[in-house]
Amino acid sequence: MTAVYLNQVAMVNALGCCLADIWHNLKLGCSPGMMKYITPVSQKEFHAGVVSAELPLIPDEFSDFNCRNNRLALAAIQQIESAIKDGIERYGAARVGVVIGTSTSGISEAEVAIKSHIERGVIPADYTYKKQEIGAISDFIAQYLKVEGPAYVVSTACSSSGKVFASARGLIDLDICDLVIVGGVDSLCDLTLNGFDSLEAVSNVLTNPFSVNRKGINIGEAAALFLMSKEKSSVQLLGVGESSDAHHMSAPEPSGSGAKQAMQAALKDANINKEKVDYINLHGTGTSLNDSMESHAVYDIFADQVQTSSTKPLTGHTLGAAGATEAGICWLILKHSSEQIIAPHVYDGCYDPSLSPIKLSDTSKSVLPVQVTMSNSFAFGGNNVSVILGKCLDA
């Protein structure tokens, strides 16, 4: 398998709208965007991870793509646009691909349009199905950047933008692309917030993963985009492991067998032993079933010998963007490894004794410089993925 590297990253989420702010707030364990949020259609209140900064406007020539999801993507693109243009010039537009994970696309705008039709019998003049079509995000990015390589979406619920790393690497390994814009984008909408609420999986206060007092998830919105290529840089994609246990439509397999299989596959793909992993970013949703099965799966492989944390109390569960967002947090930890910092686990400190005793991060103690990280994402239908990133010491 071809060695590939994550040369650049851009992120927008509840922690902040640039890498400097995200890293600063991550270290503090403080997220300004975790707040009360009222849905635009049903007017229900939730505790959610909100990007509160003003987002860039979609240019008029791309008005059919004008939705919040694409504006989140554009906010991330603008952070690394010069590097993208350099890559296009270097490799040619036909050798640059786009692989994005999402679950919402522009459904929020569709909800507003449907509400207008129900209440007034009129669909807004600026509404088009292109805003909500699941592949809209990859089409928008490709057209905006004028790239001509493969451009498509992976949509497997909460594992979507973890799985894109395997897909993007495949494009490079098969010599279809030299550079791939890869990541995930999801925006808040009534569908996901009310959907998870109907499953009784939502907490109306800050999510509390792995606590005996946990009550569920907080949904969030985010964009995280990477530039992947064979050009050596300081962070390498070491391995990706995928599994599909198909245990249940929404509930994870209780013992964590599918999650364990994904982690083991990632270790095998990376050709490393479990002892090499310094930090695991847990899926850690704060639901009863997820935290239980993930603790069992992690403990079965790593026991209590690796530092772990869930960063969802700082970003919310960003669904289709979660895998890329949390890989982005791992990327930042590796880039700043000399600071000897890992992501804090923000919760009430009351670890659930019925869970396997994994080692949650304790940021009051110093840690060795992180060289290898793992990020877990688990989704409806048993779609599981683990992504391993490593510090490239000879870059």
Residues 283, 269: Cα–Cα separation, whole Å = 20
Q: Classify residue 105 as left (phi > 0), alpha (psi -120 to 50) or beta.
A: left
Contacts 24+ apart (CB under 8 A), 77-84: 77/10, 77/141, 77/144, 77/145, 77/225, 78/10, 79/10, 79/11, 79/18, 79/19, 80/8, 80/9, 80/10, 80/225, 80/227, 81/145, 83/7, 83/8, 83/227, 84/145, 84/181, 84/227
Catalytic member of 296, 317, 330, 345: 317
pTM over 0.95: yes
Catalytic member of 47, 283, 296, 345: 283
Does the annotation mark 117 as catalytic?
no
Question: In terms of residue numbers, what domain contains 273?
Answer: 4-391
Exposed, middle or buried: residue 133 (CB in 10 Å: 0-12, 13-18, 19+)? middle
Does the annotation mark 30 as catalytic?
no
Total tally of structural domains belonging to the chain: 1
For position 366, what pLDDT does the model report? 62
Does the annotation mark 283 as catalytic?
yes
Catalytic member of 67, 158, 177, 189: 158
CATH number where 244 lies: 3.40.47.10
pLDDT tens for 269-296 read 999 999 999 999 999 999 999 999 999 9
8 A C-beta contact, residue 76 and residue 325: no
pLDDT tens for 96-114 read 999 999 999 999 999 988 9
Structure tokens at 140: 């928008």
For position 2, what pLDDT does the model report? 87
| Cα-based angle 282, 80, 318 (whole degrees, multiple of 5) | 30
pLDDT tens for 334-377 read 999 999 999 999 999 999 999 999 999 987 666 778 999 999 99
Structure tokens at 163: 């799985």
Residues 327, 386: Cα–Cα separation, whole Å = 10
pLDDT tens for 193-243 read 999 999 999 999 999 999 999 999 999 999 999 999 999 999 999 999 999
Structure tokens at 181: 């814009």
